[in-house]
Amino acid sequence: MTITRRTFLETAGAALATNSVARVEASPVRVAVIGTGGRGSDLIRALTTIDGVELIAVCDDYPPHLEQGAKYAGPQAKTFVDYRKLLDELKPQAVVIAVPLYLHYKIAADCLNAGYEVFLEKTMCYSLAEAKKLAAQVTASKRVFQVGLQRRANAIYKQAQAMVAAGMIGQVVSIKAQWHRNNSWRRPVPVPRTDANWPKLERKLNWRLYKAYSQGLMAELGSHQMDVANWFLGTHPKRVIASGGIEYFRDGREVYDNISCLYEYELKDAQGKSYTVRANYTSLCNNAYEGAAELILGTKGSLYLTSAKGLLFQEKGTDVVSWEGNKDQHAADANAAVVTAGKTLKLSNDPWAHRGAPFEIDIAEGNDTRDELVSFIDHVRREDVKTICDANVGLMDCATILMANQSVETGGWINFPTP
């Protein structure tokens, strides 16, 4: 496949939208944040740096977190313990939701019903039934809705996706992704275990570890990376088989401390013949050697991707794209190589000789959490429902990760659910 200049311009255009917002001097967008824990605090800090955002309220039902959120938000933001009260009293224009997974549907649905635009943290919903209902509600409401899968706003991923779409790594043959780290995945609890309040606080703060509130590693980590697979392959998986368990952290948790999944995607080649791409996904809590990354493996090259680094390794002995070709900026030549927005591709050090020297996608200028919010606010202002991560993307992502958990429980292949 050839690489067109349009591919590049489309990629670059998304980055340019970031800057245009700063110039807008229209009335500020009034935003409220519900859930001011770890992620909510990140989002609050980012929102307070975006021109044209007025953070009018923060809400959390856990006082220490509300206090922290209020500190980051500033004195103009009112504080609420009950989000329904916030919605009634202040009528924000947009609501940013960062509560535990099991509350995503209820709070997002209430906000949409009340007529507000919604930014909802990933994973979209706790169950597929909820995700389907919410997606339908979003469509009916015509509200701006975005799911917090921030790689969709990350310059490296956007560029890499354009490179894959342009055929620069040939036919994708396999995807390997993992999120490996080495810690118990526990949040500290502010009272000793002997305290009568400990069990309650443990479940409140470590909601991730309990099945009633959480879908475990797949929802908290895998959702980001399986969304990359769905996005780059342009479809959802056909089926999955997965295995997981609690093998090391036997501390009362209910969600697996490790999981391995094999997904199958069905694609069609240029002749219309179908072929299968297999994606391996693993998550570990007790070995950090491989870190968190996605590898997109193609017949002509491989992409190694993290939020901070994107590397392209070209397969040796294949018909590689000429990076040096067509230096003329003005040539409307469809064979022009994809170039990055005003930056050079740097040759990096390479510890693995057989992989060849990588090219680095060197365009990471901006934080993807901030950029996804800039984009959301921009869509709110323009009343544009085509967000960078809309309800259908969120629904597909949600179905993709839930089917792996289901496979672990049933012990067999699980097909992608019918719509």
Partner 1 sequence: MSRVRYKATKRKMLVEYQRSCDAMGTRFDVFLRGADEQHLEAVAVAVQEEILRLDAALSRFDPRSEIARVNREAGKTAVRVDRELFALLKTCEQGRLATNGFFDVTQGGGWELDAAACSVRLATSGVQIDLGGVGKGYALDRGREILQRFQVASALLQGGTSSVLAVGDEVWPIDLRHPTKPDFIVARIELANRGLSCSAVRHAEQEPSDIVNPLTGTPLVGDAACVVLAASAAEAEIFSTALLAMGEWQAKDYLRANPDLNLDVHWLNA
Give the binding site for partner 1 (CB under 8 A).
45-46, 48-51, 64, 71-74, 183-184, 186-193, 251, 308, 364-368
Q: Which of partner 1, ligand NAD, none does residue 36 bind to, with CB < 5 to 8 Å depending on kind?
A: ligand NAD
Q: Which of ligand NAD, partner 1, none does residue 72 bind to, with CB < 5 to 8 Å depending on kind?
A: partner 1
What number of H helices and E strands is found in the chain? Answer: 12, 16
Closest CA to 360 of 373, 351, 350: 350
Alpha-carbon distance of 93 to 187, in angstroms, equals 33
Q: Which of partner 1, ligand NAD, none does residue 60 bind to, with CB < 5 to 8 Å depending on kind?
A: ligand NAD
Q: Shortest approach of partner 1 to residue 73 CB, angstroms?
A: 8
Tokens found for residue 212:
């009633």
Q: Shortest approach of partner 1 to residue 241 CB, angstroms?
A: 32
Q: Which of ligand NAD, partner 1, none does residue 88 bind to, with CB < 5 to 8 Å depending on kind?
A: none
Q: Which is nearer to ligand NAD, 36 or 405 (CB)?
A: 36
Q: Which of partner 1, ligand NAD, none does residue 28 bind to, with CB < 5 to 8 Å depending on kind?
A: none
Q: Are 343 and 14 in contact (CB under 8 A)?
A: no
Q: Are 312 and 3 in contact (CB under 8 A)?
A: no
3-state helix, strand, coil in the chain (%, to 5): 35, 20, 40
Whether the bond between 123 and the residue before it is cis, its omega within 30 degrees of 0, is: yes
Q: Which is nearer to ligand NAD, 35 or 310 (CB)?
A: 35
Q: Which of ligand NAD, partner 1, none does residue 367 bind to, with CB < 5 to 8 Å depending on kind?
A: partner 1
Q: Shortest approach of partner 1 to residue 192 CB, angstroms?
A: 7
Helix (H) or strand (E) holding 87: helix 83-90
Residues interacting with ligand NAD, by CB under 6 A? 34-40, 59-62, 65, 83, 98-101, 103, 121-122, 148, 150, 207, 220
Residue 244: half-sphere exposure toward Cβ, Cα within 13 Å:
29
Alpha-carbon distance of 277 to 158, in angstroms, equals 21
Q: Which of partner 1, ligand NAD, none does residue 193 bind to, with CB < 5 to 8 Å depending on kind?
A: partner 1
Q: Which is nearer to partner 1, 74 or 245 (CB)?
A: 74
Q: Which is nearer to partner 1, 135 or 364 (CB)?
A: 364
Helix (H) or strand (E) holding 38: helix 38-47
Q: Which is nearer to partner 1, 13 or 64 (CB)?
A: 64
Q: What is the largest CA-CA distance in the chain?
A: 72
Question: What single DSSP character describes residue 222?
Answer: I
Q: Which of partner 1, ligand NAD, none does residue 51 bind to, with CB < 5 to 8 Å depending on kind?
A: partner 1
Q: How far is CA 335 from CA 13, 55, 220, in A?
A: 20, 47, 40
Alpha-carbon distance of 399 to 387, in angstroms, equals 19
User: What b-and-e string marks burial along 26-50, b requiring 16 or more CB atoms within 10 Å of the CB?
Assistant: eebbbbbbbbbbebbbbbbebbbeb
Alpha-carbon distance of 92 to 217, in angstroms, equals 33
Q: Shortest approach of partner 1 to residue 51 CB, angstroms?
A: 6
Q: Which is nearer to ligand NAD, 146 or 161 (CB)?
A: 146
Q: Shortest approach of partner 1 to residue 147 CB, angstroms?
A: 21
Q: Which is nearer to ligand NAD, 108 or 295 (CB)?
A: 108
Alpha-carbon distance of 156 to 162, in angstroms, equals 10
Q: Shortest approach of partner 1 to residue 238 CB, angstroms?
A: 35
Q: Which of ligand NAD, partner 1, none does residue 30 bind to, with CB < 5 to 8 Å depending on kind?
A: none
Helix (H, G, I), strand (E, B) or coil at 313: strand
Q: How many residues can be counted in the chain?
A: 419
Q: Which is nearer to ligand NAD, 58 or 172 (CB)?
A: 58
Q: Which is nearer to partner 1, 237 or 310 (CB)?
A: 310
Q: Shortest approach of ligand NAD to residue 106 CB, angstroms?
A: 8
